[in-house]
């Protein structure tokens, strides 16, 4: 078979093509962050109403956008087929990939949480390189959208990792679209306006490193907790919808609150509370080991995978499997 399904013409290519959407409404939708048919398809009617579209019409527009993307009620056997569209990305460590059931999944948010220096940002750098590899090397041939809230992204690190994988570092760096978020509002704004960038650049990996740091420092005290959680919730929903609409992987990182006086049981808790816990589909807890570059990853929650732990290491090369030489010598 030489025919490709991608040559099939889509019914609606641009938002303006949707029935009843004129240039003015399209412009307004664009200002609200809905610049692609994909994002309209996963919008709520209330969101479209903000562009001055009536409630009934908003539903119609969403239905039309969905018809073109095949998003509707589906049978469980078809759901399985949709899951077969899920692509998987290697972490660079076979042990970790195995823990994740074959790698990180598209259409899902994966959260890496852990203490300072546990390797969360290093993991983000590594995934930014890996996603650009061809599928036979565990990649998705895709680009990256990297939202950095702590100013810890380093192109130099990307170059090191790319060289180790024997791919052109300049090309790799070119395909990472980077934005530093200065406040929580700015962070939300960046994601709210990302759909066109994602589509145009074939982005398959969306990173928010770190998810809650701005929210935590801006919303202080109990009185602000509800508002913080509501904003965080909205931000995460936007992220999951982008991941679904574009069959992309979404990664967020999260700090942990250490409770040094607790010796048994769960001694650390990811910050961000329950909303983050419920929206993230896969959660990985990273921690340092006593052996230098070796890290321990624990799969804490997944919708379908068993919990478990594996070790990996972070070296100059990036994320790698632990080898025999790294293991403690028995005497």
Site residues, ligand ADP (CB under 6 A): 114, 116-122, 152, 314-316
Q: Which does 114 bind (CB under 5 to 8 A by kind): Mg ion, ligand ADP, none?
A: ligand ADP
DSSP 3-state helix, strand, coil percentages of the chain (rounded to 5)? 40, 20, 40
Interface with Mg ion includes 121 (CB under 5 A)?
yes
Nearer to ligand ADP, 33 or 114 (CB): 114
Least Cβ distance, residue 160 to Mg ion (angstroms): 17
Instruction: Pick the closer one to ligand ADP by CB: 36 or 149.
Output: 149
Alpha helix (H) residue ranges in 45-85: 45-49, 55-69, 76-84
> How far, in Å, CA of 45 to CA of 41, rounded?
10
Bridge partners, residue 146, by sequence: 178, 207
**Of residues 127-166, which lie at the interface with Mg ion (CB under 5 A)?**
152
DSSP state letter for 51: T
Minimum CB separation of residue 250 from ligand ADP in Å reads 17
Q: How far is the CB of 152 from Mg ion (least distance, A)?
A: 5
Residue 147 and residue 235 in contact, taking contact as beta carbons nearer than 8 Å: no
Site for Mg ion in 194-253 (CB under 5 A): none
**Residue 117, binding choice from Mg ion, ligand ADP, none, Cβ under 5 to 8 Å by partner class:** ligand ADP
Residue 286: CA count within 13 A, CB half-sphere: 26
**Nearest-5° Cα angle at 292, 331 to 310:** 85
**For Mg ion, which stretch binds (CB under 5 A), given 19-27, 37-45, 121-129, 308-316?**
121-129
Give the binding site for Mg ion (CB under 5 A).
120-121, 152
């Amino acid at each position: 078979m030489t025919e490709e399904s991608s040559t099939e013409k889509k019914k609606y290519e641009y938002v303006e093509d949707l029935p009843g959407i004129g240039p003015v409404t399209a412009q307004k939708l664009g200002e609200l962050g809905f610049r692609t048919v994909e994002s309209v398809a996963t919008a709520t009617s209330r969101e479209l109403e903000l562009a001055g579209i009536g409630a009934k019409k908003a539903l119609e527009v969403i239905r039309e956008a969905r018809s073109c993307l095949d998003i509707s009620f589906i049978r469980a056997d078809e759901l399985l087929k949709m899951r077969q569209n899920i692509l998987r990305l290697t972490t660079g460590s076979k042990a970790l990939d195995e823990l994740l059931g074959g790698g990180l999944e598209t259409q899902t948010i994966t959260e890496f949480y852990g203490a300072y220096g546990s390797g969360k940002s290093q993991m983000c750098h590594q995934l930014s390189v890996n996603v650009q590899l061809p599928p036979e090397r565990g990649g998705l041939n895709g680009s990256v959208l990297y939202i950095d809230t702590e100013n810890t992204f380093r192109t130099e690190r990307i170059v090191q990792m790319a060289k180790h994988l024997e791919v052109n570092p300049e090309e790799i760096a070119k395909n990472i679209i980077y934005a530093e978020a200065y406040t929580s509002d700015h962070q939300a704004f960046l994601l709210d306006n990302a759909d066109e960038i994602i589509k145009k650049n074939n982005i398959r990996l969306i990173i928010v490193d770190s998810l809650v740091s701005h929210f935590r420092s801006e919303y202080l005290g109990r009185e602000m907790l509800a508002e913080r959680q509501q904003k965080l919730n909205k931000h995460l929903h936007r992220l999951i919808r982008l991941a679904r609409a574009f069959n992309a992987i979404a990664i967020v990182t999260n700090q942990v609150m250490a409770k040094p006086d607790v010796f048994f049981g769960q001694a650390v808790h990811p910050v961000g509370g329950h909303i983050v816990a419920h929206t993230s589909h896969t959660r990985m807890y990273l921690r340092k080991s006593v052996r230098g570059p070796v890290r321990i990853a624990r799969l804490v929650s997944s919708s379908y995978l068993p919990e478990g732990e594996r070790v990996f290491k972070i070296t100059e090369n990036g994320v790698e499997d632990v080898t025999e030489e790294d293991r403690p010598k028995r005497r």
